[in-house]
């Protein structure tokens, strides 16, 4: 791990509609962005911590707490923009500057309950198993065989050929992605994918108690409650 050039990318655009400047929202006694920068800086195997933003206030905040900042192009900061396009854009800039990057780590501020040990586990697994990408997962809150769809007041199972009445206890375990950690080899990133699991990929399973995606004010209130419980 010590001989790898590892870069942490923290995406933090300023245009969230659900919470104004959401990445600067307070969780405990820190902003979501500062929490994310702090944990990245704690990882001594990470060579650079970079915040990608289109927002002057976020830029100033990120620099204050020790991160580098790269300006995000306006077309990459819309509601419909994909984070993978921001990754490609930053990777292209870094390569043009003469950087050689072995591993990139994506840390989303809106999934704040990660620590340096989780990041290290993901990187170690990526290297030890010679993976191209890895992400954190947790047990699915709703099993994929349970949802329904309704058209003209008529419910049908969302998936074909499933029995939505099957007891949860006999269903196979299902997992879902969360935004705690993504790690990958950027030189292996395909041009035709929208996802961050590609090539030979793996998973690091985390407990559900650490998982939240802060999207609105209600989520932020819940996250502050979770923060008190997890102390």
pLDDT, tens digit, 9 for 90 and up, residues 89-133: 999 999 999 999 999 999 999 999 999 999 999 999 999 999 999
Q: Is residue 196 part of a domain?
A: yes
Helix (H, G, I), strand (E, B) or coil at 114: coil
CA distances 52 to 55, 62, 132, 169, Å, are: 9, 10, 23, 43
Q: Is residue 170 part of a domain?
A: no
Q: Is residue 145 part of a domain?
A: no
pLDDT, tens digit, 9 for 90 and up, residues 173-201: 999 999 999 999 999 999 888 999 999 99
Q: Is residue 146 part of a domain?
A: no
Residue 69 CA to residue 41 CA, distance in Å, equals: 14
Per the structure, the complete domain to which residue 193 belongs is given by: 6-138+176-230
Q: Is residue 155 part of a domain?
A: no
Q: Is residue 149 part of a domain?
A: no
180 CA to centre of own chain: 5
Overall number of domains in the chain: 1
The CATH number of the domain holding residue 125 is: 3.90.550.10
């Amino acid at each position: 791990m010590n001989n790898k050039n590892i870069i942490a990318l923290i995406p933090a655009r300023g245009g969230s509609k659900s919470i104004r400047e959401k990445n600067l929202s307070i969780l405990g006694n820190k902003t979501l962005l500062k929490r994310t920068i702090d944990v990245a800086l704690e990882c001594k195997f990470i060579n650079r911590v970079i915040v990608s933003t289109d927002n002057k206030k976020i830029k100033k905040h990120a620099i204050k707490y020790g991160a580098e900042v790269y300006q995000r192009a306006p077309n990459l900061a819309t509601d419909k923009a994909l984070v993978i396009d921001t990754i490609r854009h930053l990777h292209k800039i870094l390569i043009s500057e003469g950087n050689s990057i072995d591993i990139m780590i994506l840390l989303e501020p809106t999934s704040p309950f990660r620590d340096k040990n989780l990041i290290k586990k993901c990187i170690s697994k990526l290297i030890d198993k010679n993976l191209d990408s890895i992400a954190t997962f947790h047990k699915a809150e709703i099993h994929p065989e349970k949802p329904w769809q309704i058209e003209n007041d008529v419910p049908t199972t969302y998936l074909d050929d499933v029995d939505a009445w099957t007891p949860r206890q006999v269903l196979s375990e299902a997992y879902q992605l969360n935004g705690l950690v993504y790690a990958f080899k950027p030189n292996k990133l395909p041009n035709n994918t929208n996802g961050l699991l590609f090539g030979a990929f793996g998973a690091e399973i985390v407990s559900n108690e650490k998982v939240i995606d802060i999207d609105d004010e209600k989520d932020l209130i819940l996250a502050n409650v979770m923060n008190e419980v997890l102390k």
